[in-house]
């Protein structure tokens, strides 16, 4: 399907009264509609247990769009495409009613039998829903059928395999769209373009010129209302297994022979296969875990993780992870890729810093001082852009090198907000482009890497928890992880350097 084509489909959202649907899915569908990317030939069935009429459901959709988007208009037309079906997904008898509703809407909107099943529900229901969809004939369609699955995809490799087996009974691999919303972010998608469309970077993108890479995704928010889920997940499963490893795969992969879904995925898989697995004692050497204690954030006292709702007061769950990854292949041998992510940190920031190796000698002026290394910084969020830190002679200075920066701010170009990750991903799914969704092989490899770490962490209680104060950048051990290699974490705030 071409980029400007307007897809036609019936979208069934399971979990349509939940938080994700309200905050992300409805506003994203609205943006697509408003931009003319959805044809008039679409319909949405919202599915959840609570009884709602179509009118009540449409009012909910309207409210959620209005709260997310300031200048929303044309809402009546938009919400008229939404229908509601009250249904307990564990109740086998109610799928047939859903089927006849789907068929009516298919005819009414001429949807050509295209169906998207979006599972915005707790993962324990994913397998059951997929099996019922097949058993009751909802997947017997003339057009395409696609299953969109939210994270977490399993709790470990074993449970992920089980889940995959269940959903594969009803959908083939190329009909499954596993969401990793980081892959929908503008600047995450830009990693490939920065690397493969610039003659100045690709030749340097290897262990001869890069000394280390740092990927940070820090959050200011704590665990909020998600204690029940987070207690079983922790930062390793919640962020590292998916978003962090996906960013690493994009940074480290070889250029694909073509920009097709299969070729890109196959290169990412090779990176994940080349990641050095960690066993036993090595986990301690390469990974650091943390848990936030109380602290002060923007002048307000906040409570420790162990005091959050639905969290065990002796919890051993990590809210912070820092790690060193080694990709044992020809391009990356010897280059550490450091990752860190955590909650209740000093700033909300996702950033990638590529630190280049020092030049062999400093010819300039204060030769006893080393020059600042060249850095390429990819700002994923909240700001979006690229900064290149160079050394240059400042006017008036004689043969003296000073650090300067070249800045490209993505949002500064036309003042427009870049599309929400979910907006892109929904559109991609409707168009049948699975490039920015994770293939089963990537999921499996990520789990097998992460499982080794969680096995060790779960069998050894961390006595020092909580080990970082809310409002800081994590535990001291995370700094030591880099210090022992002769590096340090670059700050997530901009370096105080003059712009050229
Ligand atoms: N919220 C977010 O920002 C994010 C969420 N996710 C993932 O998205 C999924 C949904 O999350 P979220 O929206 O936060 O969850 P919520 O708990 O807010 O919503 C759950 C939804 O499922 C429905 N539901 C629960 N049990 C049943 C049942 N037996 N039959 C039919 N419907 C049922 C609920 O409605 P009712 O009670 O009326 O049945 C509700 O609509 C999860 O997998 C989560 O991990 C992923 C990333 C971000
Ligand atoms: O998937 C998740 O991501 C969010 C962070 O996403 P971001 O787009 O705001 O960076 C995280 O808060 C959440 O715990 C996790 O489940």
Average pLDDT of the chain, as a whole number: 93
Query: Cβ–Cβ contacts within 10 Å for residue 432, how many?
Result: 15
Residue 436 has pLDDT above 50, yes or no: yes
**Mean pLDDT value of segment 236-260:** 97
Q: Assign 364 a pLDDT band (cuts: 50, 70, 90).
A: low
Q: What is the structure's pLDDT at 498?
A: 76
Confidence of residue 3 (pLDDT cuts 50, 70, 90): low
Provide residues with CB under 6 Å of ligand 2: 217, 219, 238-239, 350
Q: Is the pLDDT of residue 4 over 90?
A: no
Is any atom of ligand 1 closer than 6 Å to the C-beta of 19?
Answer: yes
Please give the number of the atom of ligand 2 that sits closest to the Cα of 242.
1
pLDDT of residue 497: 80
- Determine the average pLDDT of the residues in 216-234: 95
Closest ligand, as measured to the CA of 233: 2
Average pLDDT value for residue range 459-471: 94
Q: Is 51 in the pocket of ligand 1 (CB under 6 A)?
A: no
Closest ligand to C-alpha of residue 246 is 2
What mean pLDDT do residues 217-241 have?
Answer: 96
9 close to 124: Cβ distance less than 8 angstroms:
no
| Of 32-36, 252-256, 311-315, 337-341, minimum mean pLDDT range | 32-36
Which pLDDT score is estimated for 412? Answer: 44
How large is the ipTM?
Answer: 0.97
pLDDT of 417 > 70? The answer is no
Q: Quick one: pLDDT at residue 365?
A: 58
The pLDDT, as a whole number, for residue 240 is 98
Determine which of 3-7, 282-286, 329-333, 468-472 has the lowest per-residue pLDDT on average: 3-7
Give per-residue pLDDT as tens, 269-300: 999 999 999 999 999 999 999 999 999 999 99
Provide mean pLDDT across the span 33-44: 93
* Closest atom, ligand 2, to C-alpha of 243: 1
- Condensed to tens digits (0 to 9), the pLDDT of residues 49-108 reads 999 999 999 999 999 999 998 888 779 999 999 999 999 999 988 899 999 999 999 999
Lowest mean pLDDT among 150-164, 223-237, 260-274, 485-499: 485-499
Confidence of residue 34 (pLDDT cuts 50, 70, 90): very high
Nearest residue by C-alpha to atom 37 in ligand 1: 49
Query: Which of the ligands is closest to the CA of residue 51?
Result: 1
Residues 450-471 have a mean pLDDT of 95
Q: Long-range contacts made by residues 346-349, C-beta under 8 angstroms, separation at least 24?
A: 346/218, 346/220, 346/471, 346/472, 346/473, 346/492, 347/218, 347/220, 347/492, 347/493, 348/218, 348/219, 348/220, 348/221, 348/381, 348/382, 349/216, 349/217, 349/218, 349/381, 349/382, 349/492, 349/493
pLDDT of residue 432 exceeding 60: yes
Ligand 1, closest atom to CA 87? 31
pLDDT at 415: 37
Band (414; pLDDT cuts 50, 70, 90):
very low
Compute the distance from residue 64 Cα to the ligand 2 centre, in Å: 20
Average pLDDT over residues 34-59: 96
The fraction of the chain above a pLDDT of 70, given in percent, is 95
Which residue's CA lies nearest to atom 15 of ligand 1?
A: 18
Q: Tell me the domains of the chain and their CATH numbers.
A: 9-150 (3.40.50.720), 183-424+434-484 (3.30.360.10)
**C-alpha–C-alpha distance, residues 99 and 8, integer Å:** 18
Predicted TM-score (pTM) of this structure? 0.94
Contacts 24+ apart (CB under 8 A), 417-423: 418/186, 418/384, 419/31, 419/186, 420/24, 420/27, 420/28, 420/31, 420/184, 421/181, 421/182, 421/183, 421/184, 421/185, 422/24, 422/25, 422/28, 422/181, 422/184, 423/28, 423/31, 423/32, 423/184
Q: Is 298 exposed, middle or buried (0-12, 13-18, 19+ CB in 10 A)?
A: exposed
Percent of the chain residues past pLDDT 90, beyond the cut: 84
Task: List residues with catalytic annotation.
Answer: 243
Q: Tell me which residue of 20, 34, 94, 442 sits closest to 267, measured CA to CA.
A: 442
Q: Which residue has the least CA distance to atom 14 on ligand 1?
A: 19
């Amino acid at each position: 399907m071409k980029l400007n084509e307007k897809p036609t489909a019936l979208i069934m959202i399971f979990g349509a009264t939940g938080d994700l649907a309200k905050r992300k899915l409805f506003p994203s569908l609205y943006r697509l509609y408003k931009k003319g990317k959805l044809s008039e030939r679409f319909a949405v069935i919202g599915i959840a247990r609570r009884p709602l009429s179509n009118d009540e459901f449409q009012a909910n959709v309207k409210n959620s769009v209005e709260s997310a988007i300031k200048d929303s208009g044309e809402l009546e037309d938009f919400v008229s495409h939404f229908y509601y079906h009250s249904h307990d997904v564990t109740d086998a008898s109610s799928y047939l009613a859903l089927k006849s509703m789907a068929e009516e809407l298919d005819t009414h909107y001429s949807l050509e039998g295209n169906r998207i099943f979006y599972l915005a529900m707790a993962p324990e229901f994913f397998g059951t829903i997929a099996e019922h969809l097949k058993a009751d004939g909802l997947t017997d369609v003339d057009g395409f059928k696609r299953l969109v699955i939210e994270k977490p995809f399993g709790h470990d490799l074993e449970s992920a395999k089980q889940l995959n087996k269940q959903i594969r009974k009803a959908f083939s691999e190329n009909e499954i769209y596993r969401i990793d919303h980081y892959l929908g972010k503008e600047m995450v998608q830009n990693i490939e373009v920065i690397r493969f469309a610039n003659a100045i970077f690709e030749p340097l993108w290897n262990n001869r010129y890069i000394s280390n890479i740092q990927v940070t995704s820090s959050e200011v928010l704590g665990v909020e209302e998600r204690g029940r889920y987070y207690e079983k997940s922790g930062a390793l499963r919640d962020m590292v297994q998916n978003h962090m490893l996906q960013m690493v795969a994009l940074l480290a992969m070889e250029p694909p022979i073509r920009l097709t879904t299969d070729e890109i995925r196959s290169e990412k898989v090779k990176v994940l296969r080349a990641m050095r697995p960690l066993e036993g004692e090595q986990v301690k050497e390469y990974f650091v875990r943390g848990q936030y204690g109380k602290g002060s954030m923007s002048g307000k006292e906040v409570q420790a993780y162990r005091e959050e709702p639905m969290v065990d007061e002796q919890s051993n769950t990590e809210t912070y992870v820092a790690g060193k990854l080694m990709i044992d292949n020809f391009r990356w041998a010897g280059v550490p890729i450091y990752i860190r992510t955590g909650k209740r940190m000093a700033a909300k920031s996702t950033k990638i810093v590529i630190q280049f190796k020092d030049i062999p000698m400093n010819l300039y002026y204060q030769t006893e001082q080393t020059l600042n290394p060249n850095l390429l910084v990819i700002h994923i969020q909240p700001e979006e852009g690229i900064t290149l830190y160079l050394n240059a002679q400042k006017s008036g200075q004689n043969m003296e090198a000073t650090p300067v920066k070249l800045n490209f701010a993505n949002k500064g170009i036309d003042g427009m907000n870049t599309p929400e990750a979910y907006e892109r991903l929904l559109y991609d799914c409707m168009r049948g482009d699975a490039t920015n969704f994770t293939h089963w092989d990537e999921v499996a490899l990520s789990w097998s890497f992460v499982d080794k770490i969680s096995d060790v962490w779960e069998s050894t209680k961390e006595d020092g928890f909580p080990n970082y104060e809310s409002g800081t950048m994590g535990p001291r051990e995370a700094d030591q992880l880099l210090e022992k290699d002769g590096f340090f974490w670059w700050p997530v705030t901009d370096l105080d350097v003059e712009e050229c």
